Amino acid sequence: MAQISSINGGTDQVLVEETSSVRTFILNRPKQLNALSHQMISQLLELFHVSERDSNVKMIILKGNGRAFCAGGDVTAVVHNVRRGNWKLGADYFREEFTLNYVMATYSKPQVSILNGIVMGGGAGASVHGRFRVATEKSVFAMPETALGLFPDVGASYFYSRLPGFFGEYAGLTGARLDGAEMLACGLATHFVPSERLPLLEQALVKVNTSDPDVISAIISRFSHIPKLKEGSPYHKMKIIDRCFSRRTVEEIISALESEALNKNDDWVSSTIQSLKKASPTSLKISLRSIREGRLQGVGSCLIREYRMVCHVLMGEFSKDFFEGCRALLIDKDRNPKWEPSRLDLIRDDDVDCYFSKIDDEDWEDLKLPPRSNLPPYAIAKL
């Protein structure tokens, strides 16, 4: 019988179910679509560390309560803290979140994430780095940060840069929403299981007494199948995506898409152009460079670089688009952000370079990732 408990003084933002060899962690802020509070991140980090040290634990299952796995980080709380005058409070949140992403990416035991619902932003970081990601017909995946004045973080420059062709640049710059079938096709998910079969899958998984990924994959495969992509799926547009999103600059990407639009009447091309033109110009430029650099870096280097970038965003020296995006989309909800700079041509290469530099503050430190040992081959490969 599974033992269910809440942790950290009776709070219930993360629930824990225990069997002899499996720990199931349940994100439990359903009204907030399981958005990751600082408390949840701290709890998860502690739970992952404790479970890794416990030789009886062979596997982790991570899932969400309600209609979301996790809709992202609780950035409204971060913005509130930064607006009170201390950007380092916001930096503390991201430092702990990125550390959790790194621990998951280099975990010595398999993590199975059940993605039965919304998976966005920080929710992607809490799942994609793990060994197994189970999508369903209810899955909705997106990294919508460029519409918020941020950039795809939580290690997205690592995992987006490793998607087929230039699909990662497409998804990262536009914030495109992907369904479960598309997640499986591009590799963000490892399996697709109909939601009605999830209870049976979980019953089978909690009986597992091994960390052998081949055994665990075989169990999940018994309940999974390969779904058909919908007719209008962007995954059917890979030739156009590769032609356009392989261009060197954001301006060239948009120009290439506009040329495609002239040649054919394609609603997908038009909506893609509109998504790019609605996004923060600064976010687009730093996001493209981040994903391109990620192609050549391990997951730890990506997270260290992204931490530098997010600290520059929080300081708001060049642009305060993150605060404006959160105001327009999350606080006032007028959905009409006023970006500054307002155009791509107003942003020089030197301005972009600043986001990738160390912070000029004697109290600031680069992200210090915890030492990892006894890693399985798939985790070593990420380094």
Catalytic residue among 74, 97, 153, 324: 153
DSSP states along 220-253 = HHHH---PPPPTT-GGGGHHHHHHHHTSSSHHHH
pTM of the model: 0.96
Catalytic residue among 73, 123, 125, 130: 73
* pLDDT given at position 9: 44
Structure tokens given for 202:
């979980």
Secondary structure of 158-222 in the HEC alphabet? HHHHHCCCCHHHHHHHHCCCEEHHHHHHHCCCCEECCHHHHHHHHHHHCCCCCCCHHHHHHHHHH
* pLDDT given at position 373: 86
Structure tokens given for 325:
């995006």
C-alpha span between 280 and 341 (Å, rounded): 8
The secondary structure of residue 355, as a DSSP letter, is T
Catalytic status, residue 340: no
Catalytic status, residue 165: no
Catalytic status, residue 175: no
* pLDDT given at position 8: 45
* pLDDT given at position 52: 97
C-alpha span between 70 and 319 (Å, rounded): 28
* pLDDT given at position 11: 60
The three-state secondary structure class of 357 is coil
Catalytic status, residue 294: no
To 5 degrees, how large is the angle CA 155–CA 295–CA 354?
A: 70
* pLDDT given at position 383: 87
Structure tokens given for 95:
């430092």
* Mean pLDDT of each 10-residue bin along the chain, 383 residues long: 49 92 98 97 98 97 98 92 88 97 97 98 98 98 98 98 98 98 98 98 96 97 97 96 98 98 92 98 98 98 98 96 95 96 98 97 95 89 89
Structure tokens given for 335:
């959905």
Closest CA to 333 of 135, 147, 193: 147
With beta carbons less than 8 A apart as the criterion, state whether 143 and 118 touch.
no
* pLDDT given at position 10: 45
Catalytic residue among 74, 97, 145, 182: 145
* Residue 231 buriedness (CB in 10 A; 0-12 / 13-18 / 19+): exposed
C-alpha span between 108 and 249 (Å, rounded): 38
With beta carbons less than 8 A apart as the criterion, state whether 325 and 148 touch.
yes
| Number of neighbours of residue 315 by Cβ within 10 angstroms | 18
C-alpha span between 228 and 137 (Å, rounded): 11
Q: What domains are defined for the chain?
A: 12-355 (3.90.226.10)
The three-state secondary structure class of 24 is strand
Catalytic residue among 122, 149, 180, 294: 122
| Phi (first) and psi of residue 63, to 5 degrees | -150, 175
